[in-house]
Amino acid sequence: MLELVHTVWNFAVSVLHAGWDLLAAGAVLCTGLLHHLHADAPRLEGLLVGIALAWLLLRRERHPLLRALSAPLKLVLDILDLAWDQVVEFAGDIWDVGKSWTAGSVGWVWNTVTGAGSWVMGRLQSVKSKLEKEN
């Protein structure tokens, strides 16, 4: 009977050892793939990370664990969205101010030139009228 228990014990230990070896081989495979992606194929790594994050965000409402995992990503995306809105608004404001300043400057120069032209023409008309009276 003790021989049977010993054989069963050896079997259980062998199965656990084989399972551990399988897990270790899987971990070596995964780390090797990750190293290859990171060192030799960074664009593919970025694509795969982007796909994984998009998958996570698409399924975030279905499971509370996914909601918890995607909360930092959602926060980052919300911050980027707010920053983009602020940049667009700032650029629009700068464009409007630059356009109004340019239009105001051109208008001032135009009014000054036309005013000086009118003043010169008025002086010339006055000289002409004085010269006509003397003749």
Please report whether residue 84 resides in a domain: yes
Structural domain including 116 reads 41-134
pTM value is 0.47
Mean per-residue pLDDT pooled into runs of 10, the chain (135 residues): 92 96 96 93 93 86 83 88 96 94 90 91 90 81
Please report whether residue 15 resides in a domain: no
- C-beta neighbour count of 70 within 10 angstroms: 20
Please report whether residue 59 resides in a domain: yes
Please report whether residue 31 resides in a domain: no
For 76-100, letters b (16+ CB in 10 Å) and e give: eeeeeeeeeeeeeeeeeeeeeeeee
